[in-house]
Structure 1
Amino acid sequence: MGVAWPFADRNEGFREGLELALDEINRQGVLGSRIRLIEKDDKSSVTDGLTIAQAFANNSELTAVIGHRSSAVAVPASKVYDHAGLLLLAPSSTAPGLTAAGVDRVFRLIPDDTQIGSTMAAYAHAKRFNNVAIFYANDEYGRGLANAFEDEAKAVGMQTVDRLTDYKDLNDLRRIVAKWKLLGCDAVFVAEVMPDGAKFVSDLRKAGMKVPVIGGDGLDAAALADTAGGAAEDTVVASIFNPFAANEAVRHFVRSYEDKYNEAPRKWAAQGYDSLKLLAYALEQAGSREPSKLAEALKRTKSWQGASGPHSFDGSGDVRDMPIILKQVKDGAFQYLTEGARANE
């Protein structure tokens, strides 16, 4: 199996989650043999990612690929894999375009931007925010998430007062903030990844904007509070992993991870773990290593329970039923807002 991820710079427990799953799977084997991983670092680069994708496509021993972290890499790479007849399990790409091109063997193991954006808009509506500004990255991830949030916000009667993708400096942002205040902006939605998301949150507070900040899963990193400091306080973000969930699959993963690595797992560890465990499940269900049969087995999958919650797949390869968790920065650390949370992260 091939794995493509920015291991050197943005691993964040992903390799450890893979290794834990690999150990568990290979104790008994799958279809009479052990799984072997070929890991490549794509550096979150489209060029490097496509080079790796082509190398994997040319490797006749590979059945499936797990990766890539960035949607900007995963979307074009997915076409290479599908054309080569390989199965792709995408644990982090939220861009709707990943599964919108009619590919047959591409599976998304995380809620997409439409699901996450809709969830955050529903949260904003429940908090009675009426006039929201959107700051977003001008890339596959940022545009998709911003659009999804704005569409759902409009559907529930909220108004988007402005959309911003860049600003020159702090003085420019102060000018923008002054305009937002005149427009009655009562919350800011951030569709950006780290560390740029943390920088914006910090600059937003320096520019004098004190309204609540909410964000997508791109802000779900301990570095948000570490980088933005007090500016990040009370920020609410989307996540996909609750280590305190009252579920045996989650408890087993957390215990095993802590025993092996002497630290608590975070979401990318859970996604790495689930990716490989789900692949092993598909191999068992299909009784074959043939990628098309694995794809058929995954599309039949209903409520498979992983560390990140239940997984079902629709005909396009998008995951369904997977919970979206809300977290809020309190006293410099994330607190889970989802029912059942018991501690800070």
Structure 2
Amino acid sequence: MSMSAERAMKLGKSSDEIVVGAAWPFADRNDGFKEGLELALEEINQTGVIGSKIKLEQKDDLSSVTDGLTIAQNFSNDLNVTAVIGDRSSAVTVPASKVYEQAGVLFLAPTSTSPKLTEGGVSHIFRLIPNDTQIGAEMADYANSKMYKNIAVFYANDEYGRGLANSFEDSAKISDIQIIDRVSDYKDIDDLRRLVNKWNALGCDAVFVAEAMPDGANIILELRKAGLNLPVMGGDALDSDSLIEIGEKAVEGVVVASIFNPNDTDPKVRDFVESYKSRFGAEPNKYAAQAYDSLHLLAAAITEADSRKPADIAAALRKQETWPGVSGDRSFDASGDVNDMHIVMKQVKQGQFEYLK
């Protein structure tokens, strides 16, 4: 009998707590994720789910593929585990998801955008955020609206960076935007100065940075030191307060993609923001909102399926027309990608993020 079948059989007979795993770089790159999970857990367990409470088991993946795979194997070996929420980066999530899929564990990815996550006919994997193709297209539309026609791309040579850079370039070409250069590494500040001089000579209008934090902030900082005076844009992985903390004046004017606006007047968003502030003394960001939505979405799907079996919950997720979260409404296509989720733009102005219309 396969591990997936064993899990379904065991969970079908269980009436104990519903075990949910969470894998995330909690110690070094938490960004409110743990707090968002804990707030959702408190709310859900006030009434329970199909007669049981959720037991949340959190493990730190250290932003490491090796640790992420070890955690995935450990969660998968535990037949009591119904679902796992994680990891932060696509570089960890994509390989870990293959372990969960093979073991029949429902896997919810709240922040990983690589298209590879849902390729290959997966049945237990769901992405809770627009993928790189969607984000790249939105950023290219923004660049076109600003009349940028020559753009240089600086990207991380990893799953996230390559995917977002490729998607941005593909969408940019549709709008007749020229990608004049693609760079993933540099030797020193003199090397960066040569790059900046080349971009200026080629009539560069803006730079698109497909990097995650904290590297993204450090690269923008170094580019400014090398003399870059052009507008800078980035994907959702730059959507972090640490961008401003690290980059300071160097990131002034930087535009990034996001999926959560704490200033939204929607009652459920206002309730979440107030509850989070009351509980933790700070305003929630994208990561807190995604964590909160992930656990609430899972609880709603378990209730709809009236089952703790991963396959039943996955079927319920695919059947739902729209689920209203604080980060936006969600439904899923056959591959597990989120449909039509709203993307918002943020810009650093006077040392803080401002949401753009």
Check whether TM > 0.5.
yes
2:31 and 2:240 in contact (8 A); partners too: no
CA offset digits 1:286-313 (Å, max 9, x no partner): 1111111100110112221111011111
1:3 and 1:67 in contact (8 A); partners too: yes
1:68 is matched with which residue? Answer: 87
2:183 is matched with which residue? Answer: 164
Distance 1:88 1:265 in 2: 24
Distance 1:225 1:5 in 2: 22
Distance 2:314 2:158 in 1: 29
Deviation (angstroms), 1:321: 2.1
2:131 is matched with which residue? Answer: 112
Does 2:157 correspond to 1:144?
Answer: no
Deviation (angstroms), 1:120: 0.4
CA offset digits 1:133-167 (Å, max 9, x no partner): 00000000000000000000001111000000011
Distance 1:152 1:260 in 2: 41
Deviation (angstroms), 1:43: 0.6
Q: Within 5 A, what are the aligned runs for 1:1-345? A: 1-338=20-357
Structure 1: gaps of 5 or more residues: 339-345
Q: Say what the alpha-carbon RMSD is for the aligned residues.
A: 0.8
Runs of 4+ in 1 over 6 A off after TM superposition: none
Q: Which amino acid aligns with 2:290?
A: Q
Distance 1:263 1:28 in 2: 26
Distance 1:311 1:124 in 2: 26
Deviation (angstroms), 1:95: 0.6
Distance 2:226 2:28 in 1: 30
Structure 2: gaps of 5 or more residues: 1-19
Distance 1:195 1:266 in 2: 16
TM-score, with structure 1 as normaliser: 0.97
DSSP-derived class of the 2:27 partner: helix
TM-score, with structure 2 as normaliser: 0.93
2:155 and 2:161 in contact (8 A); partners too: yes
Deviation (angstroms), 1:325: 1.1
Distance 2:273 2:340 in 1: 21
1:105 and 1:295 in contact (8 A); partners too: yes
Q: Which amino acid aligns with 1:90?
A: A
Deviation (angstroms), 1:249: 1.5
1:303 and 1:321 in contact (8 A); partners too: no
Q: Which amino acid aligns with 1:167?
A: Y
Distance 2:106 2:56 in 1: 14
DSSP-derived class of the 2:143 partner: helix
Q: Which amino acid aligns with 1:30?
A: V
Q: Which amino acid aligns with 2:314?
A: A
Distance 1:313 1:192 in 2: 27
Deviation (angstroms), 1:106: 0.1
DSSP-derived class of the 2:329 partner: strand
Deviation (angstroms), 1:268: 0.7
Deviation (angstroms), 1:101: 2.2
Deviation (angstroms), 1:261: 1.1
Distance 1:263 1:233 in 2: 23
CA offset digits 1:51-92 (Å, max 9, x no partner): 111111110111111111111111011111111111000011
Aligned length: 338
1:341 is matched with which residue? Answer: none
Distance 1:68 1:118 in 2: 24
